[in-house]
Each structure stands twice: as C-alpha cells, then as structure tokens.
C-alpha cells in the first residue's frame, strides 16, 4: 500500500477524531477568510470617498475629520453652516446675480453646494443642485449613470434622486414620493419630494444618499434664516419653480435667508500642472480667513486609516492568528493521540519491512490531509459566511459584497501557511512513530 493510502486509511479508522480535528481547523480558516475579506471591505468603504470628482471640501471652522465624515460619508453631524455669500465667492461671473466673478472663482473648476440636516428612514437627505451628478463623478474618471430615470433639473424644486442602496432597501421607484424628516427620523415631516432618478450602484457613499433639489430643501420649515433686508444681494433667483409636492408653485427662497453646509470643490488645473497645486494654495488662503475651512478628503481619509482602520485590522489579525494557533494545537493533540493508539500498528509495519522514513512520511501525509481538507472546507465556509451577510454589508456600507468577494493575495498565502501548520503539528507525532520500539510492542 502507498504512503498516501496508509495515511487515508488511518484517517478513516478514526472518523470522529479526524473529523473534529479537521473541523477545528476549518473554523479557524473560515474566521481568517472572513476577517481578511471584512478588512478589505472596510478599506474599500473608506477608500471609496478618496477618488470622487472633487479634491477639496469647504465648510465651517471646526474639525476637518468631522467635515469629511459628514460631507463624504454622510455620517456624523454637520459642524455649522456657512453663508450663501461665501459660497458665491467660488462662482464665476455667469453664475452670480451681480455678474461679478467671486474672489476664488479663478482657482475653481466646479463648486457644488450641499445642505444637510434631514433624514428619510435612516438615510441622510442631501440638498444640492443638478451639478452634483452632471459635473462631479463617482470617482476615477467615471460618470454618474442612472439605472432608472435621470438627474433632476434645477427648476424642478421638489424632485429628488436616490442612491442604489436606498432604492433597493426601501423599494422606491421613479415616480414615488417621499417626505424627509427634520433633524432625525422621528422629526417633523417635510413636504414630499418626487423620485425622478435612481443612480446606478457606484460602490461609494452616494449609494446611501437621498438627494433633493436644494431649492425645495430651502422651502421646508426650519431651513431658512430669519429674513433681513440686504438690498440687491438678497434677491431671489430668477428661476421659475415647478409645481411642488403640495400642488403649489412657491417662489424660491431669497439668497439672504440661505446657508449651505459645505461645498464640494474641484480646483482648476494650472497649465501643465496638476489641480492639486492650485488646491494647496486655495486651501491655505481659505484656512487663513475667518469665513470657513478647507480640507483635502484624501489627506483626511489617510489620517482616518491610520487612526482607526489600521489598529482595527491588526486586532482582527491577532485574533485570527490565535484561532489558527489553537487549531494547530488541535491537530498536534489529535496526531499525538493517533500515534499512541497506533504504536502497535507501527511496530507491525516495521516488522513487515517498512522503513522508518516510510512511517515518518505516512504520519506527515496524514497531518497534511487533515490540514488541507479542513483548510479547504474553512475557505468555503468563510466565503459562505461573507456571502450570507453580504446584503447587510451592502445596505450599510454601500460596498457590493458577494460570495465571491475575496482578498486574493492574502488567501493565496493561506495554502503554504496551512501546509506549514500541518508539518509543524505532525512533526512531533511523526518523530514518535519514527522512534517506535518494535520489540516493545510485539
């Protein structure tokens, strides 16, 4: 009989012990796979905000991290609002009512305002304009695509666009209406908005956003500043609103009563130079002033990685390493017990002419079979776990996760690692079998 046959027969003779040993290793490997894939999901969740179509966020003075978390990932609370007049300093002459370019306009390619403060069934409501989907991108040169409907128009005050996760989890379709709540889900209900478009899945926080025309957003109760007389600058926009959710056609809110939560800014690119060069100077100028602060999302996200993601990843890997160590000890205990039980069988093999090296190899092959079999079962179980919780992860992170989500490089390293564990765990019992005293057991 071949060495492989001897090892396989030994496993079959001890089905319960062998099965429990393989199961312990399978559970350890499943935890390793689930941890590696989960760590990759966490990284992708945060990295999804780093490649968006803007390189600067402008908001009220305060924590840059809070500004990025609120404006990019739609978590945390807004710091404060910034004046509408400050937003207009980023606009070219053609987009200002006075026809005079703002003082930052020469350094800006696009400036898109966002307004926060409302929720709809657990999702953040973002008031913005049509430029959010027409001028910005979901990252790395892509463009926003709509799985149904289209982008809202600036003159359609009570129109909204929803992300893919929102549409999937709440069952909203184009033509449906929804009424945001002020401040929290249990807050005062606002006027209804109409869904005119559903954004195709982007794998970014946009999938978890509810975007409404900020003209309609401003008209909701509690969203307007107290009225003041500031002359021509306080005039209303010269736009004819569409019919609102209540059948009326209200006038737009005067500029003097408006504020914005933040600005998503794409800086202009000087001739022959990247846009980041202009962004650095503009960031410094804004931060030296009193009106607001500017933060670079990429830098803040990198800091977030170092503060939260890296330590969490190390803790998870430490836990999985301990689990695999326990699994290896389980193999060791099983193999030692097997070696003690088979001392007489080993003596008989030796008496029939088997060499010591054959006995040594048979025990090591048995350990390899248990490790590889348990490891493959654990790999499959780990992916089944990830596939099972994938819809939940997608719902709350916006990152698409399925049975086939993987961390390819790290998972490939599991193969030689499992072989190493098997060799180390099987070495002691193999040496015990190698040194079996034939005369003693016969």
What is the block-wise mean pLDDT of the chain (442 residues), using blocks of 10 residues?
70 76 79 75 62 85 90 84 95 92 92 94 95 86 90 95 92 95 88 96 88 96 75 49 54 92 91 80 92 88 76 76 72 65 58 62 76 82 78 60 59 70 67 55 48
User: Does residue 93 lie in a domain region?
Assistant: yes
User: Does residue 309 lie in a domain region?
Assistant: yes
Same domain, 80 and 178: yes
End-of-domain residue from the set 235, 270, 295: 295
Same domain, 277 and 311: no
Same domain, 94 and 240: yes
User: Does residue 50 lie in a domain region?
Assistant: no
Tokens for 154?
């600036």
Same domain, 163 and 261: yes
User: Does residue 179 lie in a domain region?
Assistant: yes
Sheet strands (E) in 138-216: 146-149, 159-162, 177-178, 181-182, 193-199, 209-213
For β-strands 123-128 and 108-120, DSSP reports them as antiparallel
Same domain, 177 and 120: yes
Report the distance separating Cα 52 and Cα 50, nearest Å: 6
**Host H or E run for residue 10:** helix 3-13
End-of-domain residue from the set 295, 330, 347: 295
Burial (CB < 10 A; 0-12, 13-18, 19+), residue 247, is: exposed
Which phi and psi angles does 149 have, rounded to 5°?
Answer: 70, -150
Q: Domain range spanning residue 118?
A: 56-295
Same domain, 18 and 61: no
Report the distance separating Cα 78 and Cα 223, nearest Å: 14
Tokens for 438?
């034939």
Same domain, 240 and 128: yes
User: Does residue 289 lie in a domain region?
Assistant: yes
Same domain, 100 and 77: yes
End-of-domain residue from the set 246, 275, 295: 295
Report the distance separating Cα 213 and Cα 116, nearest Å: 12
Residue 75 CB partners (closer than 8 Å, separation 6+): 69
Contact 178, 118 (CB under 8 A): no
Which phi and psi angles does 181 have, rounded to 5°?
Answer: -110, 145
Same domain, 258 and 355: no
Burial (CB < 10 A; 0-12, 13-18, 19+), residue 256, is: buried
User: Does residue 73 lie in a domain region?
Assistant: yes
Same domain, 252 and 111: yes
User: Does residue 225 lie in a domain region?
Assistant: yes
Contact 257, 272 (CB under 8 A): no
Count how many domains the chain has: 2
Same domain, 196 and 323: no
For 338-351, letters b (16+ CB in 10 Å) and e give: bbeebbebbbebbe
User: Does residue 51 lie in a domain region?
Assistant: no
Same domain, 200 and 88: yes
């Amino acid at each position: 009989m071949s060495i492989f046959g001897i090892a396989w027969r030994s496993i079959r003779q001890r089905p319960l012990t062998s099965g429990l040993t393989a199961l312990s290793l399978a559970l350890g490997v499943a935890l390793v796979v689930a941890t590696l894939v989960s760590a990759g999901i966490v990284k992708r969740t945060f990295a999804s905000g780093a490649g968006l179509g803007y390189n600067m966020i402008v908001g009220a003075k305060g924590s840059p991290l809070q500004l990025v978390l609120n404006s990019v990932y739609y978590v945390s609370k807004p710091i404060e609002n910034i004046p509408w007049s400050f937003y207009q300093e980023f606009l070219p002459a053609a987009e200002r009512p006075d026809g005079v370019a703002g003082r930052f306009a020469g350094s800006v390619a696009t400036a898109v305002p966002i307004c926060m403060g409302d929720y709809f069934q657990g999702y953040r409501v973002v008031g913005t304009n049509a430029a959010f989907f027409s001028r910005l991108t979901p990252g790395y040169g892509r463009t926003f695509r709509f799985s149904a409907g289209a982008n809202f128009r600036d003159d359609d005050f009570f129109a909204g666009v929803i992300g893919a996760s929102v549409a999937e989890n709440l069952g909203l379709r184009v033509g449906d209406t929804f009424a945001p709540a002020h401040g929290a889900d249990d807050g005062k209900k606002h006027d209804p908005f109409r869904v005119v478009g559903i954004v195709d899945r982007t794998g970014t926080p946009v999938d978890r956003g509810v975007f409404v025309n900020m003209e309609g957003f401003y008209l909701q109760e509690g969203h307007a500043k107290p009225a003041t007389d500031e002359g021509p600058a306080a005039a209303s926009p010269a736009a004819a609103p569409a019919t609102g959710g209540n059948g009326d056609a209200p006038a737009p809110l005067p500029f003097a009563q408006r504020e914005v939560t933040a600005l998503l800014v794409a800086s202009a690119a000087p001739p022959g130079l990247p846009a980041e060069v202009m962004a650095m100077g503009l960031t410094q100028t804004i931060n030296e002033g009193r009106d607001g602060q500017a933060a670079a999302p990429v830098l803040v996200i990198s800091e977030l990685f170092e503060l939260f993601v890296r330590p969490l990843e190390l803790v998870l890997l430490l836990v999985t390493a301990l689990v695999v160590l326990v699994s290896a000890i389980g193999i060791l205990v099983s193999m030692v017990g097997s070696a003690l039980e088979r001392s007489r069988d080993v003596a008989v093999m030796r008496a029939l002419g088997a060499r010591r090296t054959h006995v040594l190899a048979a025990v090591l092959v048995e350990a390899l079979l248990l490790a590889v079999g348990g490891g493959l079962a654990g790999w499959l179980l780990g992916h089944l776990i990830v596939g099972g919780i994938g819809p939940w992860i997608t719902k709350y992170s916006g990152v698409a996760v399925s049975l086939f989500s993987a961390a390819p490089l790290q998972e490939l390293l599991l193969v030689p690692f499992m072989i190493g564990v098997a060799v180390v765990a099987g070495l002691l019992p193999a040496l015990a079998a190698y040194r079996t005293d034939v005369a003693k057991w016969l």
